[in-house]
Amino acid sequence: MRSVIPDYLVEALRDVEPDGSGEQAGYIPELAAADPERLGAVFATVQGEVYGAGDIDTEFTIQSISKPFTYALALTDRGFDPVLAKVGVEPSGEAFNQISLEGDTGRPLNPMINAGAITAHSLAGPEGLSPAERVERVIHGLSAFAGRRLRTDEAVCVSEMEHAHRNLAIAHMLRSHDVLTEDPRTVVEGYTRQCSVLVTARDLAMMAATLANRGVNPLSGEQVVPGPVVRQVLSVMFTCGMYDAAGDWATQVGIPAKSGVAGGLIGALPGQIGIATFSPRLDPHGNSVRGVSLFERFSSDMGMHLMGVPAAARAVVRANHVLGSGPDALRVLQLQGGIGFAGAERVVREAVNSAPPEVRVAMDLTMVYSIDDVARRMLLEVARRLTLDGHDVYLVDPESILPDPDPGDGGRVTVVDIVEQAMPSPHTVETSPLKRNVL
Ligand code: GLN
């Protein structure tokens, strides 16, 4: 059977193909000369599966799509505080090349506009690197996100540098506020080289998938940047990635995203996929016209809006029933799915509202596939309080989905592999070799 996803992508491209509106970026002559008809789209899953249609292996310059990744490198290399001291996280509502800084501090408003991105470039790598070493750190880092060694397009780099008056003006302003501490021209040269890194839509989808996968490249398995950095980067992409169209984007598409003036556009759907599109004609905000249409379509066709609320929390308690009878009866709370705060709250409520009359109580985690840390602590606290109320508490957890099951402070939990081991039959409980640990 042919996969349905490439066919869907082909159909989506066919729908947007006739739209010839928009213009290529005119302020970088080399970009104005690019083929405007190119069109491609790629989905890369967090498992590393890649689906594409159209021009997915054509190289073009990454431009502003480098910004979230360089910001990630700066946060990783310098730590949050030094970077936040120099670049804010507030949406500017202005164009990407606006010459604007925060009034009192001179900080750029966010790392997605040029002022913030030029500053973030200056913060990549450890302190004291030469400009060339810093560029190498950035290209090396972008390559790790993509999973292959990337190179720059010298012609585009030179072409942009010849017309970089605005970025130079911004850099001089940053220097006057001591946000930049080096020669402004040198930093702009490094930033421009960063923007001239050549990528394909396939590369960009993999880079986005690395963000969607908590910083781990799905193919190479490399942890490129730590999880907390990814959270910061995705948050900033969500609020600032589309410049002065960020609000429209957040409401209509709802995927953390970043565009570039060469026509690339990426989106990262946490835990699911990285998406990239390529189509060079831009709208007045500098975002790819057909790329934006494709993302609008993907979001609504595939339910990808991040604020589209899944109906998961209620279903965490799959069953609440009693096995056996009399003093041997066992109350079983059978849980399922992925349990976060809301799911754990549902379990707490179940335990509080219908205080079980049975002495034995089991929480059956056999059908649970993940428990986050707050849910883990809440379930253990339920176990602790049940113990204090006189219950014998069991966790049915054959795959140790709940690590370190110690409820602490007077709590006691017996971990078993199957629910029958929580029953008082001497054959199953006392002699069973499967009974594992008692805390
Ligand atoms: N290199 C471009 C610039 O600094 C990047 C802008 C963009 O892609 N939006 O103007």
Q: State if residue 143 touches ligand 1 by the CB under 6 angstroms criterion.
A: no
Per-residue pLDDT, averaged over 232-237, amounts to 97
Domain boundary among 272, 301, 330: 301
Same domain, 149 and 269: yes
Sorting pLDDT into bands at 50, 70 and 90, what band is 189?
very high
Question: Mean pLDDT for the chain?
Answer: 92
Same domain, 116 and 184: yes
Per-residue confidence (pLDDT) for residue 381, from 0 to 100: 93
Same domain, 297 and 319: no
Classify residue 297: in a domain, yes or no: yes
With beta carbons less than 8 A apart as the criterion, state whether 44 and 218 touch. yes
Classify residue 431: in a domain, yes or no: no
d(CA 213, CA 208): 9
Q: State if residue 96 touches ligand 1 by the CB under 6 angstroms criterion.
A: yes
- With tokens 């069109």, the residue in question is 39
Is the pLDDT at 351 greater than 70? The verdict is yes
Same domain, 146 and 67: yes
Per-residue confidence (pLDDT) for residue 98, from 0 to 100: 83
Per-residue pLDDT, averaged over 161-175, amounts to 95
Per-residue pLDDT, averaged over 287-292, amounts to 96
Mutate to test the pocket of ligand 1, among 23, 60, 61, 64 (most ligand atoms within 8 A of CB): 64
Buried b (16+ CB within 10 A) or exposed e, 378-409: bbbbbbbbbbeeebbbbbbbeeebbeebebee
Same domain, 146 and 254: yes
- DSSP assigned state of 335: E
- DSSP assigned state of 340: -
Q: State if residue 64 touches ligand 1 by the CB under 6 angstroms criterion.
A: yes
Owning domain of residue 416: 313-422
Question: Residue 64 catalytic?
Answer: yes
d(CA 110, CA 87): 6
Same domain, 269 and 126: yes
Is the pLDDT at 426 greater than 70? The verdict is no
Same domain, 217 and 88: yes
Per-residue pLDDT, averaged over 24-31, amounts to 85
Domain boundary among 242, 276, 301: 301
Q: State if residue 288 touches ligand 1 by the CB under 6 angstroms criterion.
A: no
Classify residue 58: in a domain, yes or no: yes
Classify residue 227: in a domain, yes or no: yes
**What spacing in Å lies between the alpha carbon of 391 and ligand 1's midpoint?**
64
Question: Residue 67 catalytic?
Answer: yes
Same domain, 132 and 230: yes
**What spacing in Å lies between the alpha carbon of 319 and ligand 1's midpoint?**
55
Per-residue pLDDT, averaged over 34-42, amounts to 96
pLDDT digit string, tens, across residues 387-423: 999 999 999 999 999 999 999 888 899 999 999 999 8
Per-residue confidence (pLDDT) for residue 312, from 0 to 100: 55
Residue from 260, 259, 254, 226 nearest 239 by CA: 254
Question: Residue 51 catalytic?
Answer: no
Domain boundary among 261, 280, 301: 301
Phi, psi angles (nearest 5°) of residue 22: 90, 170
Residue percentage of the chain with pLDDT more than 70: 95
Per-residue pLDDT, averaged over 215-240, amounts to 97
**What spacing in Å lies between the alpha carbon of 309 and ligand 1's midpoint?**
34
Mutate to test the pocket of ligand 1, among 157, 160, 244, 258 (most ligand atoms within 8 A of CB): 160
Per-residue confidence (pLDDT) for residue 313, from 0 to 100: 53
Per-residue pLDDT, averaged over 135-144, amounts to 98
- What domain count does the chain have? 2
Classify residue 280: in a domain, yes or no: yes
The answer, as to whether pTM is greater than 0.85, is yes
Check which CATH number belongs to the domain holding 401 and give it. 3.30.750.24
Same domain, 257 and 237: yes
* 23, 324, 397, 435, 437 from 360: Cα distances, Å: 70, 11, 16, 16, 17
pLDDT digit string, tens, across residues 404-413: 999 988 889 9
Per mean pLDDT, which of 20-34, 88-102, 174-188 is the most reliable?
174-188
Q: State if residue 160 touches ligand 1 by the CB under 6 angstroms criterion.
A: yes
Sorting pLDDT into bands at 50, 70 and 90, what band is 428?
very low
**What spacing in Å lies between the alpha carbon of 64 and ligand 1's midpoint?**
5
Question: Residue 86 catalytic?
Answer: no
Catalytic residue among 50, 51, 67, 292: 67
Same domain, 384 and 294: no
Same domain, 126 and 234: yes
- Lowest-confidence pick of 26-30, 222-226, 356-360: 26-30
Q: State if residue 152 touches ligand 1 by the CB under 6 angstroms criterion.
A: no
Q: State if residue 119 touches ligand 1 by the CB under 6 angstroms criterion.
A: no
Classify residue 307: in a domain, yes or no: no
Same domain, 118 and 211: yes
Per-residue pLDDT, averaged over 260-278, amounts to 97
